[in-house]
A and B are shown apart, each in its own frame.
Chain A
Amino acid sequence: MAYSVSFNLNPIVDSELGGLGSDDTAQDHLMIQHRTESAPEGGIGSPDTQGIELLVKECKDFLDDQTSDVREQADERGLQNSESVQTRLLVRNRWSATTLKVLSSMPSRSIGWQSRLEKVSRCTVHNSQLSRYRRQTPGSSLSTRPIVHRNEDVSEEETKTKELINNLQKLSTAGRFRILRSTPLSLSEKSELRKLAFSDKVGQSLSSEVPYWRKIKRASRHSFFTILSFFSSLRFGRVQLKRIGGRFGTSVLFYFLFLRTLLFFNIFLSLINGLFLVLPQAIYPPLKNTPSRFSGLELLTGTGFLSDSVMFYGYYTNSTINSCGPAAKVRSEDATPHSACGSASETQMIAYNIPLAYSFSTVIAFFITSIALVYSLSKSFGRSVQVLSSHGNLASKIFCSWDFKVSKKTSVRIQSENISTQLKELLLAVNCKRGNGASRWRLTGIAVYPLAWSACLGSTFFFAFGIHVFAEYLHLNKKPEDSWASEAYLLTLPSVVSCGNLFLPGLFNLLSWFENYRLPSVRLYVAIFRNLLLKVSILGVLCYHWLGKVAVQSEGHGPQCWETIVGQELYRFLLMDFIFTVLYTVFGVFLWRMFSQRVLRRKRKPVFDIAWNVLELIYGQTLTWLGVLFCPLLPTVQIIKLLVLFHLKGNSVLMNCQASKKPWRSSHMSTVFIFLLCIPSFLGATAFVIYTAWTIKPSSGCGPFRNLPVMLHSGEQWAHELTKVNPKLAWLNWVYNNVVENPFFLLLVSLVFLMVSYVHAHVLDGQKRIMTLLQEQIENEGKDMKFLITKLQAIHEGEPPLSQSRSAIRGNEVPNQHDTCGL
C-alpha cells in the first residue's frame, strides 16, 4: 500500500501492473515466513493468558530501554522476533495474539523493520525511474523492488548492498552522485557506498585509454566545485543575511534576498553594456563639439558635463570605429577619409560598428534577462503550488511553520507566541463555526469598504493627473539659462513623484487599518494592489509624456537630443528615489520608532513593511530597465544604489524594527513578487523599449541611430551591408525581411507557444486528478483495513479458545484477501 503511493505518482500506468506482480512475490515470501513462524509460536500461544502476561512484561522492558543506538535499532529490531511488535500493538489495544500476528505481517506495518539499505534501494529505484521518465530513454529494467524482510541476516544485508551497488552502477556518474547525495544515510556510510559504487571507475582512471572528453569533464567538474566553494564563501552579505534571518525569520529575509537577485540582474546588464558599448566608445571618443563646465549639481541632474559623456545616448557615434595598431582614428561621416594606418592591410583593421553594438547589446540583454526571469518564476511557482487540497492546515502548521533560521532568543519567543496564537484561533474557528466573525464584519459596516477604495483610487488618479499637468507645465516653460536654479528646477518633478511614492502608501495603510480586514493575507494583497496601481499609473503617465511629447516635439525646437533628455529624466528619477529612500530609512524609521515608543507608548518597535519595500525595489528596477536604452550606465548607478540600500536597510531593520506577528507564506509571496517583477515591470519596460525602437524617429542630431528612420533599421542596414560585402549572405536579408519584420511569423511563434503551454496545463490537470483519485483510494484502503480488523477480531472472539489452529489458518488467509482487494 505504502509502496504503491510512491511508485504510482508517476503517470506511467505499467508501474502499477509491475507493482502487482512484485507484491505477489512479496506476499508469497511473507506466507512462507508466516508458516514457518506459526509452528514454533503455537507453543507460546496455547496458554493464552500466560502468553499475554509474558508479552506485556516484555513490552514494559522494551519501553524502558531508551538508551539504545538510533542507527542500530533497525538491525536490533530486525533480529528480534515478532513478539516485540505485538507487545507494542498490545499496549494500544487489547487485541488477540492472532490478530496481532496478522496485523504485524501486513506490508504497511513492516515499514519500521526496513533497514536503511532497503530505504536507499527504494530511493534509488524511485529516483532512477523518475529520471528515466524524464529522459525517456529505454534504460535497463530495474526490477528490484523492495521486499519486506522481518528477520534480517548478515548475508541478506550483503545481498542488498550488492543490489544497491548494481543499481548505482547502472546509472551515470552524475546520476550516482545525485542519488547518493539525496539518500538519508550518514556521511561515513555514504563514503563507503561511494567507494564501492565507483569501484568500476577506478580501473578506468588508471588506464591510459581514458577518452579526452572524460578528462575534460572531470577537470571542469573539479574546477566548477572549486569556483562554487569560492563564491559561496564570498557570498555577498552572508553575515548580514544571517543576522537578519536569525532575528526576523524568513519573511524579512525575503526582502534582502530579492535585493540580492536584482543586484545580479543589474551586474549582468552593466557588464554587457560596459564591455560592448561603454568601453569601446570610451577608448575612442568622438569629437567633442562644445566644452562644458563642471558644477556639483550635475551629478544629480545628469546635465552639463555628464550629458556629453558615455552616460547618455547622445554621446555615441553612428559610425564604425576602425582601429589599427597603436594609432587609431574614428572615421565619421564628415571627417576626411584619411586614416593613420595607410599601409596596413584591411585584415588588420578591427571595425567596430557602434550602432549595431548598441542595438545588439540591448536586445541580447533584454532577451537573457527575460529568460532568467521566466526561469526563476517557473521555479518559484513550482515550489509554491499546492497541488492537492489544502485541508491539512493544522498538520502543516505544526510541522512546517517553525522557522529553524530564527536564533535570537526574543524572536524565538515571539515565534512560539505566534504559533500558539494561530493554533488557538484555529481551534476557536473550528469550535465556534465562525459565529462571531460574521457579526463582527457586519458591525464595522459595509460602507467602509467602498469609501476606502474610492479614496485610494481617487488619490491615485488625482496624483497621476497632477504629475501629468506638472510635467506638461515644466516641459513648456523651460528656463533656457544655465544657472544652478534652472538645474534645480529639473529636480522638482522627480522629487514630487518620490514624495508621492512615500506618503500615498502610508495613506493606503491607514485606510486599510480602518477597513480592518479579517484575514491578514487579504490585507496584504489589497495593500500590494493599491501600491502597484499607484506606481503603474505614475510610470504610465511619465512614459506617455516622454514618448508622446518630448520625443515628438524635438523637431520643432531645433536639433536636440530627446533621447538624452529622456535618459537624464530617468537618471534623475532613479537618483531622487534613492535619496528619498535613504532619508526615510535613516531618519524616518528612527523618528517613527521614537514617536511610537515615547508618544504612543507602544511596547513593541515598528514592524518592517515588506510589501512596500519590495514594491519600491521593483519600481527602481523598472526605472532602470526603462532607461537602459537611453542611458547605458544606468544599471551601474542602480548597482551602487542597491549596495548602499542593502547595508542601510539591514542596519535600520536590526536597530529599529521587530519581528511581525503576522504569518508570512514565504514561497507564495516570493512567487507573487517575482511575478510582479516579470509582468508589470519587465514586460512594461520591454514594451516601452520596443515601441521606442520600432515607432519613434531617432533624433537627427546625436546618437548612434541619427540617420535612420527608426532604431530597428540598424539591423536591416547591417544586413544590407553584409550582402554587399559577401553576396553569399543574401539569405540574411531575406530572413530579416520575411521573418523578423513579418507579423505572420511572430503570430505563428506565439501560437506555438500558446499550444505548448495549453498541453502542459492539461498534463498538469491530469496529474492532479490522478493524485486525488489515489488519495481516495488510500482512504478507502484504510476503511477496508479497519473493517477487516474488526471482522477478524469478531471472528476470533466468537470462537472457543481451543480452536487456535483454525483461527491461525484464518489469520493466514486474511492478509491474502486484504492485499488482493487492495491492489
Chain B
Amino acid sequence: MLGHKRFSCNHPSSTFFPLSRLFYRYRDLAPQLVPLDYTGQPDVRLPYELIGSMPELKDNPFRQRIAEVFSEDGEGNMTLDDFLDMFSVLSEMAPRDLKAYYAFKIYDFNNDDFLCKSDLEKTLNKLTRNELTEEEVRMVCDKVIDEADLDNDGRLSLEDFQHMIVRAPDFLSTFHIRI
C-alpha cells in the first residue's frame, strides 16, 4: 500500500486518469508477478497474452496493434508505465492531437510512419472481418488515398491523418475505452 502511494506521487499529472484504479487493474492481470510496492521501480513486464485477455480489449480487432504501440519493446509486453500510458491516451480527457498521433501509429502496421496501401488494406480487413471482396478492398483503399492524401505521395503521413481527423468530430468519442 505504502509503495503504491509512493508510486502514485511520482506521476501526479502526467496522465489524465486516476492512477489507483488502473494500478489495481494491472495487478489483477497477474497478482503473482506485480508487486504492491513500486518504490524500487521493479522491471515487471506483463506478456501480451495477459493484456489481450482484458475484457475491454478481448474482442477488439486492433488489440494487438494497441498493445504493440504502447509497449516499450514493441511486442505487446507492457510495463505498468505502458499500461498507464495506454489507458490515459484512450481516456476521454486526452486531447485530440495526442489521440490522433497514437491512432496513426496503431493503424500503421509496418511501422514506417506512413499509412501505405498495405496498412489500409489490413485495417479494412480487420474492421470488416474480411467480409469485403478483394476488388472492393482495393477500390476503397484507392478512394481513401485519393481523398486524404494531400501531398500526393500515394500514402498518408501523420499530417494527412490529423487533417482528416479534424474533419471527423466523432473521433474523440469513438477512440475511447472506458475502464
Contacts and interface: CB of A to CB of B under 8 A. Distances in A.
Interface in A203-246: 225, 228-229, 232-233, 241-242, 245-246
A225 B178 contact: no
A1 B151 contact: yes
Given A402-B174, A405-B177, A71 B136 contact: no
B36 interface: no
A407 B58 contact: yes
Interface residues of A, number: 86
Contacts of B164: 392, 395-396, 399
Interface string B155-179: 0011101011111111111111111
Interface in B120-159: 120, 123-124, 127-129, 131-132, 136, 139-140, 143-144, 147-148, 150-154, 157-159
Contact of A242 (B11, B101, B173, B178): B178
A69 B73 contact: yes
A93 to B, nearest CB: 9
B40 interface: no
A770 B148 CA distance: 19
Interface stretch (B26-34, B44-52, B106-114): B106-114
Contact of B151 (A191, A383, A781): A781
A241 B178 contact: yes
A5 B159 contact: yes
Interface stretch (A454-462, A532-540, A665-673, A710-718): A665-673
A103 B165 CA distance: 27
A396 B100 CA distance: 12
Contacts of B158: 111
Contacts of A73: 111
B14 A390 contact: no
Contact of B14 (A181, A388, A420, A779): A181
A6 B128 contact: no
B151 A400 contact: no
Interface string B56-70: 111111100000110
Contact of A407 (B59, B102, B167, B173): B59
A412 B163 CA distance: 28
B35 interface: no
Contacts of A403: 174
Interface string A161-189: 00000000000000001001111101110
A678 B152 CA distance: 45
B59 to A, nearest CB: 4
Given A191-B11, A399-B107, A667-B173, A778 B167 contact: no
B99 to A, nearest CB: 10
A396 B58 contact: no
B56 A407 contact: yes
Interface string A103-138: 000001101100000000001000000000000000
A782 B152 contact: yes
Interface string A49-78: 000000000000000001111110100000
Contacts of B38: none
B144 A778 contact: no
Contacts of A228: 18
Nearest to A415: B127
Contacts of A775: 150
A182 B98 contact: yes
B71 to A, nearest CB: 8
A194 B11 CA distance: 10
A109 B15 CA distance: 32
A395 B144 contact: yes
20 contacts: A67-B75, A70-B68, A112-B114, A187-B15, A191-B14, A385-B169, A387-B167, A394-B140, A394-B143, A395-B164, A396-B168, A398-B123, A399-B165, A400-B175, A404-B62, A404-B176, A405-B174, A416-B129, A779-B150, A782-B151
Interface of B: 10-16, 18-21, 55-62, 68-69, 71-75, 81-82, 84-85, 88, 90, 94-95, 97-98, 101-103, 105, 107, 110-114, 120, 123-124, 127-129, 131-132, 136, 139-140, 143-144, 147-148, 150-154, 157-159, 161, 163-179
Interface of A: 1-2, 5-6, 66-71, 73, 88, 92, 108-109, 111-112, 123, 177, 180-184, 186-188, 190-191, 194, 225, 228-229, 232-233, 241-242, 245-246, 250, 383-388, 390-396, 398-405, 407-409, 412-413, 416-417, 419-420, 423-424, 427, 430, 665-668, 775, 778-779, 781-783, 785-786
Given A194-B14, A396-B165, 8 more contacts: A66-B110, A191-B11, A229-B19, A229-B20, A250-B174, A399-B123, A667-B170, A775-B150
